[in-house]
């Protein structure tokens, strides 16, 4: 039974991913793809001596060109080994060159320079199963410098990531058809790596710095699971996270935020390769980036190694990886000095090879320079034969792990069940019963406080729930009271202290979410500070990472802190972002409903906008109503034909309810609608939407303490939207609401103008 169960675990994860992809068709009817990954052997040579960081600059360009031309005859080990390695590396280079050339679009320089480290990682180091890219204990690889994605596509093609989806959907994934369709409509080789499109890509990268931050999240997830579930006699969680990042990633502030945390947390299984080629789009990095990266990363708590010859120094790269794996208490940065566009006689080491095709003449010259006699997209037979071993080896690695899990499950049933839930994403039966419920007699409270009640109830039943705040946990109310802090020496704990690093926090949570389907990460700050992390939230939406964003202090209701801290345009901006659930609950039941929705939506992020000020528990609100997005809270009309419909969200739903009471005293029939999530309401049937907002009723008034932008869609051309279309002010919350016209009296007056 144990053996069957463990095999089922891998099969369940694969079938769950396949089924998810099948149900998420893209616009051209191709199945959408989700997360994937990669692995790691050690078996490397002895360590190289640490190089002085003062020798940062490249040799002169004339010398570099001479070195490039000589590269084809440089040898390591035996001649046969050298010949096959170099042929494999050049296969990677020319698959990249040819794809970019055919598309007449792309970035050939990075793949040409990084091919040696890519080859060593995928061919010699990483553990993975090409036929089951979702195998849990695989190593993960992130190409943070996502513009160089042809490097990864070429590696995936050679490694055998071409049959999982083909066998289920009868399509080609990494056959040459897709390499030849690089950056074209319908291809699985888009212009930057996208995990939902391409089997073998872990996370969506492209915006520089996001990938290395995602990798920190992946490495955190591994360290956390290992601490929670490994036993002295069975280390069931044991994999590495590898990254390639470039100068652009180093310059972006998000990378420093995330790498600072990685050093603080001692993520020893995170190994980052810094493609130190000193070229960015505008030219040599000396025009804007001259800091000593080695010293900075040492200051961040990383182990730093310098590979001086990344072009042909295969043994140096191998030795650096071996040294990195020997360092258990720190992440490692391997600075690999490379030549961008290596092998190109006239464009190597220049910005002209960074972001455009080489051109036919230079491609021919590069073929001659590197002794490559083959036609475009050719993979030599001996290279194919060499790489083909990864299919049986990967299957054997997974089978070995399955047997190991079977033993684990026999000895540690409770832990195995929890780990299995995290691996598969299956939610425990009846988990939603843990959500607290409220009555109108329950005391008024801020929704940020009600949020904490929900988090602390859910963490008892959801093994994958963990998260934290950007140095605001005591204000966001996000502490999990029954757990301690995830720290270097206590990684099994589930409170994550991100410090004042909003952008890095969001991207790290993306990595956690994409590590395993059952992880449910949350992160928190003030709603206005989503401005600092918007790019990470957008990537959450794009790469289908179900992060829960707990955003408190959601309006001018925060009061005296003033306009710098009062969000105005934020609700509208996130409602405009695809694949995001923007939820603004009004009380306890709606807060519980928002959490239910957020937990269930594992392929889109949820943003919960929560109040600082206390709000009453309103009659008529419900968890079930939130799941519809918009629903009727109260109504004294009949025949689905009220005189006026009042629509509110969050703290303003109370104002709408009070206004309704006044209008009803005057004989009006009034419907009050809570519009907690526009996105969920849009997904309801036309019949349901008509039952809530009947088209025959044009007298509609909305009230929300934010921009009125977009509300015309809800209230119609004849309705009125009450809101704030300027920045806020510093004063007590009650005074601000009155001065900005967010009052029951204002709603009553607007309603009377319409009916």
C-alpha pair distances (Å), 744 with each of 392, 446, 554: 70, 20, 20
| Residue 58 is assigned to a ligand binding site | no
Residues 6+ apart with CB under 8 A from 424: 9, 12, 13, 16, 517, 518
612: annotated binding-site residue? yes
Q: Residue 720 corresponds to which tokens in the numbers above? A: 């009125």
Contacts (Cβ under 8 Å, ≥6 apart) of 5? 406, 409
Does residue 84 have a known ligand-binding role?
no
DSSP H helix total and E strand total for the chain: 29, 19
| Residue 354 assigned ligand-binding role | yes
Residue 314 corresponds to which tokens in the numbers above? Answer: 């295969």
146 annotated among ligand-binding-site residues = no
Q: How many CA atoms lie within 13 A of 674 on its CB side?
A: 32
- Give me the half-sphere count of Cα atoms (radius 13 Å) on the Cβ side of residue 499: 13
Assess contact for 664 and 670: CB atoms under 8 A.
yes
- For residue 542 the two structure tokens come to 């794009």
Chain-centre distance of CA 383, in angstroms? 34
Rounded Cα gap, residues 138 and 36, in angstroms: 9
Helix, strand and coil in the chain, % to nearest 5: 45, 10, 45
Q: Give Cα separations from 421 to 14, 23, 97 (angstroms).
A: 14, 21, 43
Q: Is 271 known to sit in a ligand binding site?
A: no
DSSP codes of every residue in 678-715: HHHHHTS-HHHHHHHS-TT---EEEE-SS--TTTHHHH
Residue whose pair of structure tokens reads 């009555």 in the numeric block: 439
Backbone phi, psi, residue 628, to 5°: -90, -10
> Is 378 marked as a binding-site residue?
no
Task: Tell me how far apart the alpha carbons of residues 406 and 402 are, in angstroms, rounded to a whole number.
Answer: 6
Positive or negative: CA dihedral 537, 542, 543, 548? positive
* Residues belonging to the chain: 755
DSSP 203: S
375 labelled catalytic: no
Q: Does 561 count as an annotated binding residue?
A: yes
Q: Is 98 annotated as a binding residue?
A: no
Distance CA 165, CA 193 (A): 17
- To the question of whether residue 108 is assigned a binding role by annotation, the answer is no
- Of the residues 202, 502, 590, 679, only one is catalytic, namely 502
Residue among 525, 523, 537 nearest 476 (CA): 525
Q: What is the DSSP letter of 567?
A: -
Q: Is 287 annotated as a binding residue?
A: no
Q: Within 10 A of 282 (CB to CB), how many other CB atoms are there?
A: 10
Residue in 149, 158, 243 with CA at minimum distance from that of residue 191: 149
DSSP for 530-549?
GGGTHHHHHHHHHTT---EE
Is 277 one of the annotated binding-site residues?
yes
In sequence order, the 6+-apart residues with CB closer than 8 A to the CB of 745 are 659
| Residues 6+ away with beta carbon under 8 Å from 558 | 526, 565, 566, 612, 613, 733
CA separation for the pair 676, 53 (Å, rounded): 55
Q: Could you tell me which of 571, 532, 612, 526 has the C-alpha nearest to residue 706?
A: 571
Residue 529 among known ligand-binding residues = yes
Q: How far is CA 705 from the centre of its chain?
A: 30
390 is in an annotated binding site: no
What is the signed CA dihedral for 288, 291, 296, 302, rounded to 10 degrees? 80
Q: Is 111 annotated as a binding residue?
A: no
Query: How many whole angstroms from its chain centre is CA 707?
Result: 28
Query: Annotated binding site for thiamine diphosphate: which residue ranges?
Result: 147, 206-208, 248, 277, 354, 529
Q: Annotated binding residues for Mg(2+), as ranges?
A: 247, 277, 279
List the catalytic residues.
Answer: 502
**Binding positions for substrate:** 107, 354, 448, 475, 553, 561, 565, 612
């Amino acid at each position: 039974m144990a053996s069957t169960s463990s095999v089922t675990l891998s099969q369940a994860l694969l079938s769950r991913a396949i089924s998810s992809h099948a149900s998420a068709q893209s616009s051209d009817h191709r199945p959408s793809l989700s997360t994937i990954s990669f692995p790691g052997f050690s078996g490397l040579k002895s360590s190289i001596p640490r190089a002085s960081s003062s020798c940062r600059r490249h040799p002169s360009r004339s010398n570099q060109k001479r070195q490039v031309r000589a590269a084809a005859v440089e040898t390591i080990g035996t001649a046969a080994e050298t010949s096959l390695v170099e042929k494999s590396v050049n296969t990677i280079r020319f698959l990249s060159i040819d794809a970019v050339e055919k598309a007449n679009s792309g970035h050939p320089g990075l793949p040409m320079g990084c091919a040696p480290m890519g080859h060593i990682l995928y061919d010699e180091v990483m553990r993975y199963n090409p036929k089951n890219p979702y195998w849990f204990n695989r190593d993960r690889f992130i190409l943070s410098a996502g513009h160089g994605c042809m490097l990864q596509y070429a590696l995936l093609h050679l490694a055998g990531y071409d049959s999982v989806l083909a066998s289920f959907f009868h399509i080609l994934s990494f056959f040459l058809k897709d390499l030849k369709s690089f950056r074209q409509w319908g291809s699985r080789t888009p212009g930057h790596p996208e995990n939902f499109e391409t089997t073998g890509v872990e996370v969506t990268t492209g915006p520089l710095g996001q990938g290395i931050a995602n990798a920190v999240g992946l490495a955190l997830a591994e360290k956390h699971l290992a601490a929670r579930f490994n036993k002295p006699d069975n280390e069931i969680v044991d994999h590495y996270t590898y990254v390639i990042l470039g100068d652009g990633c180093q310059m972006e502030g998000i990378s420093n935020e995330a790498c600072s945390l990685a050093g603080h947390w001692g993520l020893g299984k995170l190994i980052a390769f810094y493609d130190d080629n000193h070229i960015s789009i505008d030219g040599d990095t000396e025009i804007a980036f001259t800091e000593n990266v080695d010293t900075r990363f040492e200051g961040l708590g990383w182990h730093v190694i310098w590979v001086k010859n990344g072009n042909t120094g295969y043994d140096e790269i191998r030795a650096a990886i071996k040294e990195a794996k020997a360092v258990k208490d720190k992440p490692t940065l391997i600075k690999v000095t490379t030549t961008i566009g290596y092998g190109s006689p006239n464009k190597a080491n220049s910005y002209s090879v960074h972001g455009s095709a080489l051109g036919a003449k230079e491609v021919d010259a590069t073929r001659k320079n590197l002794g490559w006699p083959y036609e475009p997209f050719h993979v030599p037979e001996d290279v194919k034969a060499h790489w083909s071993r990864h299919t049986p080896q990967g299957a054997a690695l997974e089978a070995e792990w399955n047997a190991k899990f079977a033993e684990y499950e026999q000895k540690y049933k409770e832990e195995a069940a929890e780990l299995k839930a995290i691996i598969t994403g299956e939610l425990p039966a009846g988990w939603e019963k843990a959500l607290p419920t409220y009555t109108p007699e329950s005391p008024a409270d801020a929704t940020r406080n009600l949020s904490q009640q929900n988090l602390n109830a859910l963490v008892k039943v959801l093994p994958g729930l963990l998260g934290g705040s950007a140095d605001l946990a005591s204000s966001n109310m996000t502490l999990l009271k029954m757990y301690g802090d995830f720290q270097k020496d206590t990684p099994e704990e589930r409170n994550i202290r991100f410090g004042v690093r909003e952008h890095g926090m969001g991207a790290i949570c993306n990595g956690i979410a994409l590590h395993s389907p059952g992880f449910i990460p949350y992160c928190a700050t003030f709603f206005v500070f989503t401005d600092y992390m918007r790019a990470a939230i957008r990537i959450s939406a794009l790469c289908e990472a179900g992060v829960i964003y707990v955003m408190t202090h959601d309006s001018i209701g925060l009061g005296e802190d003033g306009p710098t801290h009062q969000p105005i345009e934020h609700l509208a901006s996130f409602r405009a972002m695809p694949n995001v659930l923007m939820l603004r609950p009004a009380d306890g039941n709606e807060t519980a409903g928002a959490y239910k929705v957020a937990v269930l939506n594992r392929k889109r992020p949820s943003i919960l906008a929560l109040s600082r000020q206390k709000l009453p528990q309103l009659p008529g609100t419900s968890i079930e109503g939130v799941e519809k997005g918009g629903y009727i809270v109260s109504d004294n009309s009949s025949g689905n034909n009220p005189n006026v419909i009042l629509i509110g969200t969050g703290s303003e739903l109370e104002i709408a309810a009070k206004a309704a009471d006044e209008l009803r005293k005057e004989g009006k029939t009034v419907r009050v609608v809570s519009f907690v999530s526009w996105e969920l309401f849009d997904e309801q049937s036309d019949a349901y939407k008509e039952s809530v907002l009947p088209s025959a009723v044009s007298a509609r008034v909305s009230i929300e303490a934010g921009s009125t932008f977009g509300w015309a869609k809800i209230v119609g051309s004849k309705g009125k939207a009450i809101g704030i279309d300027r920045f806020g002010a510093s004063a007590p919350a009650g005074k601000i609401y009155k001065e900005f016209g967010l009052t029951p009296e204002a709603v009553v007056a607007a309603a009377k103008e319409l009916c």
